[in-house]
């Protein structure tokens, strides 16, 4: 077997993102199905307005949260598959030289779907653990009739079985596409120098470290996405969580805060770990030629810093627009809903915490750079 369960276990980032997505979507969609069962018992007036608002909220949250995290999970899966093939292309080239077809090799990548299954099961189970308290808080004022938690098999099919099957098929299909290379290309380093000449010419007027910083960002565009997404999650979730106590419930605020921190840390650590592991030989060579640890960090890590703050700004705009939509459109006819305005103090506090966490992460990885032995340049 080319790909084993141990390889799939490295996709813990996908499991965490899927878990968060399934947790939120299961809670709100299960609530949506159960609240629809009491529609006939809801009196007209403010109760019906509140009912319609709860139904709309469930749809919006599932669509926005589930869609965003689904796209991120797909990007992360494709990144892992490409990274796996690039790091083991000689082994895969030998298999192709022995007569194995692309599809026969790619079939082994179905195990990557187990990471989705693990995250989906954890998210689905966690949702039902939290659901009784969630239902109670959604109807804490007793405006609606009592809503009972029911198990809907259709949700288990949509949120556990289908995602696992779809991601397993997607992994096989994408792997077969990435394996469509000549055997000789897999057996030797494919530098593709000619395709990058024009880009490198633009860097001739800058220092070596500045040129390496630009090329590092160009070579791994997926990691740029992960960096922006990490800061986006932290910014949006932490700022929204601060307003959930007055707009929804304290439980919702805590849940948003935890999901934001987990997603941000997971994707940021994935991006930085991949950057360091993919440039160990470069770092070792730089140290041989006398470059300091600070210069190595500048070349490989500093390029991601402005991107992270761009992601934070996007997250700030996103959470503001989303909450304005919820307050001004979904709950516009409800009495007692506070007017939502941009909260500058909360944004500054969130930004301060983000800056501290980000710089701590950068310090940890700068220490890893210092520990990379010079012998790495001798390893093929």
Q: Which residue has the tokens 């999970």?
A: 73
Query: Residue 121's pLDDT band (boundaries 50, 70, 90)?
Result: very high
Would you state the pLDDT for residue 334?
60
Query: Residue 201's pLDDT band (boundaries 50, 70, 90)?
Result: very low
User: Per residue in 317-372, pLDDT tens?
Assistant: 988 888 787 777 766 666 556 667 788 888 999 999 999 988 888 888 888 877 77
Helix, strand or coil, per DSSP, at residue 139: coil
Residue 296 has pLDDT above 50, yes or no: yes
Query: At CB < 8 A and 24+ separation, what contacts does 40-47 make?
Result: 41/145, 42/144, 42/145, 46/143, 46/334, 46/335, 47/143, 47/144
Would you state the pLDDT for residue 70?
77
Would you state the pLDDT for residue 184?
75
User: CA angle 92-177-99, nearest 5°?
Assistant: 40
User: Per residue in 27-57, pLDDT tens?
Assistant: 888 988 888 888 888 777 777 877 877 787 7
Closest by Cα among 118, 137, 111 to 57:
137
User: CA angle 63-65-71, nearest 5°?
Assistant: 90
Would you state the pLDDT for residue 4?
53
* SS (HEC) of 75-125: HHHHHHHHHHHHHCHHHHHHHHHCCCCHHHHHHHHHHHHHHHHHHHHHHHH
Residue 171 has pLDDT above 80, yes or no: yes
* Reported pTM: 0.75
Q: 92, exposed or middle or buried, with CB in 10 Å at 0-12, 13-18, 19+?
A: buried
Alpha helices by DSSP H, listed for the chain, are 5-9, 12-36, 46-61, 67-87, 89-97, 102-106, 113-138, 153-156, 162-178, 183-187, 193-201, 208-219, 221-241, 244-247, 250-278, 280-288, 293-300, 304-325, 344-371
Percent of the chain with pLDDT over 70: 85
Using CA atoms, how far apart are residues 357 and 359, in angstroms rounded to an integer? 6
């Amino acid at each position: 077997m080319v790909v084993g369960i141990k390889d799939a276990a490295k996709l813990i980032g996908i499991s965490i993102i899927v878990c968060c997505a399934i947790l939120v979507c299961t809670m709100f969609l299960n609530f949506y199905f159960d609240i629809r069962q009491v529609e006939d018992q809801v009196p007209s007036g403010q109760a019906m307005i509140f009912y319609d608002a709860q139904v709309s909220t469930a749809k919006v949250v599932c669509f926005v949260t589930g869609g965003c995290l689904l796209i991120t999970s797909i990007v992360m899966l494709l990144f892992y598959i490409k990274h796996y093939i690039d790091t083991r292309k000689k082994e895969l080239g030998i298999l192709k030289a022995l007569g194995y077809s692309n599809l026969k090799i790619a079939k082994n990548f179905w195990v990557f779907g187990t990471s989705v299954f693990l995250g989906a099961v954890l998210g689905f189970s966690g949702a039902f653990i939290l659901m009784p308290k969630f239902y109670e808080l959604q109807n804490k004022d007793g405006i609606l009739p009592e809503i009972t938690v029911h198990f809907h098999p259709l949700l288990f099919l949509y949120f556990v079985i289908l995602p696992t099957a779809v991601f397993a098929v997607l992994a096989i299909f994408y792997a077969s596409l990435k394996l469509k290379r000549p055997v000789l290309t897999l057996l030797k380093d494919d530098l593709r120098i000619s395709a990058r000449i024009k880009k490198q010419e633009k860097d001739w007027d800058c220092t070596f470290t500045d040129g390496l910083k630009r090329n590092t960002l160009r070579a791994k565009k997926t990691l740029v996405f992960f960096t922006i997404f990490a800061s986006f999650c932290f910014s949006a979730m932490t700022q929204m969580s601060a307003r959930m106590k007055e707009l929804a419930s304290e439980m919702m605020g805590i849940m948003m805060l935890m999901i934001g921190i987990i997603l941000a840390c997971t994707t940021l650590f994935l991006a930085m770990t991949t950057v360091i592991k993919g440039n160990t030989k470069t770092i070792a060579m730089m140290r041989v030629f006398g470059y300091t640890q600070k210069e190595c960090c500048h070349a490989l890590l500093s390029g991601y810093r402005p991107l992270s703050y761009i992601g934070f700004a996007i997250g700030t705009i996103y959470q503001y627009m989303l909450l304005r939509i919820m307050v001004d459109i979904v709950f516009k006819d409800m009495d007692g809903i506070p007017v939502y305005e941009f909260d500058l103090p909360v944004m500054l506090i969130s930004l301060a915490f983000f800056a501290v966490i980000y710089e701590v992460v950068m310090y940890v990885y700068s220490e890893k750079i210092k520990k990379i032995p010079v012998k790495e340049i001798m390893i093929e």
